Structures are given as structure tokens and as C-alpha cells.
Amino acid sequence: MYDPIKAKARRLKLSLTADELADMVGVNASTVYRWEAGDRTPSVDKYVRVAAALRVPFQSLLSQAETISKYAELYGAEMGRRKNDPSAHVINTHADAKRHVEVDKLTANIRRG
């Protein structure tokens, strides 16, 4: 699942404060601190947002023990979001473009199996 050490290291490398990351993800700074301490883990939706805010593919924030099932869960969440939101296919921002690229990469990884 989510590796808090990798996430915090990336946040610090980008010189982001917990408050800045929280604003980017849409949570309180205390939530970011709980994630980084390992007390809680982000929901799938927040997990994808954290990865986007840290400008890394979500796979890079997974612990080494992760399997394809987590990829499938994240892929399913993204595809569900796209299906329920007609505007999800529209690329308006750099973050939208990056999200689309990540889903395309994930799709290719799942197909290769």
C-alpha cells in the first residue's frame, strides 16, 4: 500500500510544506501528518491526488510488497471517475494531462500482465 516514507521524502525534496501539500490534495495539514506518520492511509482518490501533487506516478509511492491488485484498484477508481464525469476526458490543465498519461501507462502494464 501507501509508503509514507517515500511520500514524505518526495515532499521534502520538492521543498513543499505539509500545508502546501494538503492544499493541493484538498485535506488538512494534520491529515498529511497522519499519512506521513503511518497512522492513516489516504483513500484511493486522495492517493492519486498526492501522487499528482508530488509529480510522481502513483506506483512510486507504493511499498515494495504491493501487487497488481493495487494497480487494478487505482485504475478502476480512475476509470470510474472518468465514466461518471463527462468532463474527465477533457484535458484542461497539466495535471489532467499527467493523470491521463498515468492511466494509459497503467492500462499498458495491466494488459502486459
Secondary structure string (H, E, C) spanning the chain:
CECHHHHHHHHHHCCCCHHHHHHHHCCCHHHHHHHHHCCCCCCHHHHHHHHHHCCCCHHHHECCCCCHHHHHHHHHHHHHHHHHCHHHHCCCCHHHHHHHHHHHHHHHHHHHC
Answer yes or no: is pLDDT of 109 > 80: no
pLDDT band at 90 (very low <50, low <70, confident <90, very high): low
> In this predicted model, which residue has the larger pLDDT, 35 or 3?
35
Q: Count how many domains the chain has.
A: 1
Looking at residue 41, which CATH number applies to its domain?
1.10.260.40
Residue 75's domain comprises: 4-112
Task: Calculate mean pLDDT across residues 82-110.
Answer: 65
* pLDDT tens-digit map of 21-63: 999 999 999 999 999 998 998 888 898 889 889 998 877 777 6
